[in-house]
Chain A
């Protein structure tokens, strides 16, 4: 039972490089999310998607892009990496919105990204 799978788990980038964090879920969830977690801080929403072909900005979208061509996949792209993007990134998915009764958000195990 895979759930939410993120790759890579660890990555070091140089300033100005680009990369894509991959996220896939096998639960047929409509909702998917990308969060970042900085040391001593809670998670902040970068982007989210309520279904294939639909994405929207969260709290901290600058410097990132996403796409949702399929229900399963929700990649996060960093175009020009900056040291401020050093963080732990979590992908998550849910069947319904966060307020729906009985809904649960499932998180991946995280991707540690360092920009030097």
Chain B
């Protein structure tokens, strides 16, 4: 069974500082990995995803994530935080291209707070 662990339910950074949100997964087969962002009272929005190919994936709003198979990690980073980045971020995994359930397993989320 697949699972996702996001270290730190709350992360606080200063505006302009590096953002690092951690995600580790477990999967018995090569995973497909996703990061979603959720702004208050809104649904989830896809930031980026890794399926195959280049392990460094660039997404919207200046975010990127690197798939590291040896570490079973898919950490999300952004070089310089902006106030508008304050939101909840979810890492998700899907472990089989033939998964007819199209099931995403989500981590518990990390709330990012950005201080002025």
A residues neighboring B (CB under 8 Å): 4, 31, 33, 40-45, 48, 50, 56, 58-59, 90, 92, 94, 97-99, 101, 104-110
Which B residues contact A (CB, under 8 angstroms)?
A: 4, 9, 32, 34, 41-46, 51, 90, 92, 94, 96-97, 99-109
Does the CB pair A44–B106 fall under 8 Å? Answer: yes
Kindly count the residue-residue contacts between A and B in the assembled complex, taking CB atoms under 8 Å apart: 74
The answer on a CB contact under 8 Å between A58 and B103 is yes
| Complex CA distance for A33 and B101, rounded to whole angstroms | 10
Residues A108 and B109 in contact in the complex (CB < 8 Å), given A43-B90, A58-B101, A99-B32:
no
Q: Are A107 and B32 in contact (CB under 8 A)?
A: no
Q: Given A40-B9, A107-B44, do A98 and B90 touch, yes or no (CB 8 Å)? A: no
Contacts of B4 in A (CB 8 A): 42
Pick the residue among B42, B94, B105 that contacts A99 (CB under 8 A): B94
